Amino acid sequence: MKNFLFIFVLLSVGLLSCKKDKNFTKDHLDFSRDTVLFDTVFTTIGSTTKSFKIYNFNNQKINIEEIELMGGANSPFRINVDGVPGDFLTDVEIPANDSLFTFVEVTLEVNNATNPLVISDSVRFRTNGLDQYVNLDVWGQDAYFHANELVQGTWQNDKPHVLYGTVAVGFPDLDSNLNLIIPGGTQVYCHKDAQLIVYKSSIDIQGTYGNEVVFQGDRLESFFDDVSGQWWGIRLIEANYSTIDYAIIKNGSVGLQVDSTQVPQTLLLTNTIIDNNDFFGLNVNAGASVDVNNCFFGDAGICSAYLFAGGEYRIDHSSFVNYWGGSRAGPALAIVNHFDVENITYVRSVTNSHLNNSVE
């Protein structure tokens, strides 16, 4: 009897030791988000890269049998799973209690629509026969694009305008005595280092209260709402008489620069906000004649307004308020009537000027 029991135990142990281990969990995936939403993206311009994580919260590894971008090769979206791009991937493993990144980008085709529209797709994950989805949504917007272009006439305000490189109203050796009119409600988005130059020509920005003309960078993610230096700025060089009314100029390097003049009055600047620029909000140089009324000059890395090397400055009912977050290099408002060239100091007078009912 004892021998029989001993043999039975050995057989039982042998049978248990031959049992096949489970290689994969039969559970499902978890995700860091169920929807990847892109803020407004201009057609033809690639988006920023967004991501989400795929989690395996199980104590055994998991095999994702299929990962499919449902729009396939025709989708405006692109995905990359753990460094592998493609719209259909198979047998992607995640170790126990581990995760993978999925990266998503989108580029939209021109849609000939003036209003933004939502474009959607999804990514399907099949695990153990179960399909799970992460949704992809983007707001798409057509725009007028200007890349290293000579511009004039009247811009339409039904779609945004996007600037690349140097966009010029008149330019040395090309043309001058041009005029650009930008009506109220126009949204102008400027790519990295883009600038709008007015050379021996004029610009008339015709915003109204509640329908301002806005200049800003072209990164539309909320993170960039208050990031300075996203574009260069607006520059008037020996400009003809120009006007800027109800404009918002923000997040540049030098918001508005006025260099010299060839007319008795260079610029009438009214009801305008210039804020959050790397160096100066307003920079007036070399004898320009500028009238300013009811304007706000905000944060800047050096000065909110820098009036340099003489000129005429008639400023009324305006504010110079600089709470720059870093180490500011100058006062909110600076007026300098001299400049140095090869160690020689030259003085150019400030004439016919006043500063009335304004706050610094």
Q: How far apart are the first and last CA of the chain?
A: 106
pLDDT digits (tens, 9 = 90+) for 69-118: 999 999 999 999 999 999 999 999 999 999 999 999 999 988 777 777 88
Specify the 3-state DSSP secondary structure of 60.
coil
Q: What is the mean pLDDT of residues 301-316?
A: 93
Percentage of the chain exceeding pLDDT 90: 72
Q: What is the pLDDT of residue 357?
A: 92
Question: What pTM value is reported for the model?
Answer: 0.82
CB 134 within 8 A of CB 36: yes
Average pLDDT over residues 269-289: 95
The partner residues of 282 in beta bridges, in order of sequence, read 256, 305
Which are the contacts of 7, defined by CB distance < 8 A and separation ≥ 6?
none
Q: Which residues pair with 139 in a beta bridge?
A: 118
Q: Where are the domains of the chain?
A: 30-140, 143-356
**Confidence at residue 26, expressed as pLDDT on a 0 to 100 scale:** 81
Compute the average pLDDT of residues 289-310: 95
Residue-wise pLDDT tens digits, 199-248: 999 999 999 999 999 999 998 888 889 999 999 999 999 999 999 999 99
Strands (E) across 111-186 are located at 117-127, 130-141, 144-147, 153-154, 161-164, 166-169, 179-183
**Can you give the pLDDT at residue 360?**
74
How does residue 18 score in pLDDT terms, banded at 50, 70 and 90? very low
Q: 35 is written with which tokens?
A: 């929807």
pLDDT at 19: 44
pLDDT tens digit sequence for 231-241: 999 999 999 99
Per residue in 30-82, pLDDT tens?
999 999 999 888 988 888 899 999 999 999 999 999 999 999 999 999 999 99
Each residue of 121-146: pLDDT tens digit?
A: 999 999 999 999 999 999 888 999 99
**Closest among 341, 345, 355 to 307, alpha carbons compared:** 355
For 30-140, give the CATH class: mainly beta
pLDDT confidence of 341, banded at 50, 70, 90? confident
Q: Convert 248-290 into a string of H (helix), E (strand) and C (coil).
A: EEECECEEEEEECCCCCCCEEEECCEEECECCEEEEEECCCEE
